[in-house]
Amino acid sequence: MLFRRKHSQNNDRYTHLREKMVDEQLRRRGIKDKRVLAVMRKLPRHRFVDPDDMDNAYDDNAMPIQCEQTISQPYIVGLMTELLELKPSSRVLEIGTGCGYQTAVLAEIVDQVYTVEIIPELAQSASKRLDELGYRNIHKKHGNGYHGWEKYAPYDRIIVTAAPKEIPNRLIEQLADGGLLILPVGDYHQDLVRIHSTENGIERNTISGVRFVPMTGAPD
Q: Which long-range contacts (CB under 8 A, 24 or more apart) does 104-107 make?
A: 104/43, 104/48, 104/130, 104/133, 104/135, 105/36, 105/39, 105/40, 105/43, 105/77, 105/81, 106/81, 106/159, 107/4, 107/135, 107/137, 107/138
Q: Exactly one of 8, 72, 127, 208 is catalytic; which is it?
A: 72
Does residue 149 come out as left (phi exceeding 0), alpha (psi in the -120 to 50 range) or beta?
beta
Cα 79 from Cα 184, distance rounded (Å): 12
The DSSP output letter for 213 is P
Cα 39 from Cα 108, distance rounded (Å): 7
Going by C-alpha positions, the residue among 51, 216, 7 that lies closest to residue 123 is 216
Helix (H), strand (E) at residue 19: helix 15-20
Going by C-alpha positions, the residue among 218, 23, 18, 28 that lies closest to residue 101 is 18
Q: Is 90 marked active-site? A: no
Cα 138 from Cα 107, distance rounded (Å): 7
Active site residues: 72
